[in-house]
Amino acid sequence: MSTYIPSSHDISRKWFVLDASGQTLGRLATRAANMLSGKLSPKYTPYIDMGDHVIVINAEKVALTGLKSQKKIYHRYTGFPGGVRSEEFSKLIERRPEKIIEEAIKGMLPKSKRCRQSATKLNVYKCDKHPHAAQMPQALENVKA
């Protein structure tokens, strides 16, 4: 008996919608990362990208536990000497809430080529409207905090 290796014909990608309103950031990111990497599929193979497409809506309504909403700081580097920029969670959630969820999900994906492939299947939107109605995404129940 030979080992089963899924081919590109065996992979069927689905579209799912996750509602971030009132959800804890880490729990939401874990669920989305598992769906993007394909770990929920019974045909999961670690070295093949078998993940589904994930749409996250209501990014501005995501929650953090404890005092993280006041103390959490996001850093980025411009590429120039002395170019480290820091921004608090409260300011970043007002300016660009999609970035917070994208960073959390990408941080939970494997650090390889598969991460970049999986990240292209992630779509995050600030409000509850998204342009992917033609793909007929399935709504997932909310993750309990």
* Dihedral sign of CA atoms 126, 141, 120, 111 in order: positive
Return the CATH number at 131: 3.90.1180.10
Residue 40: domain span = 15-64+97-139
CA 62/CA 20 separation, integer angstroms: 5
Residue 35 CB neighbour total at 10 angstroms: 23
Quick check: 34 pLDDT over 70? yes
Q: How confident is the model at residue 144 (pLDDT cuts 50, 70, 90)?
A: very low
Total domains present in the chain: 1
Condensed to tens digits (0 to 9), the pLDDT of residues 41-69 reads 888 888 888 899 999 999 999 999 999 99
Residue 116 CB neighbour total at 10 angstroms: 12
In a domain, 82, yes or no: no
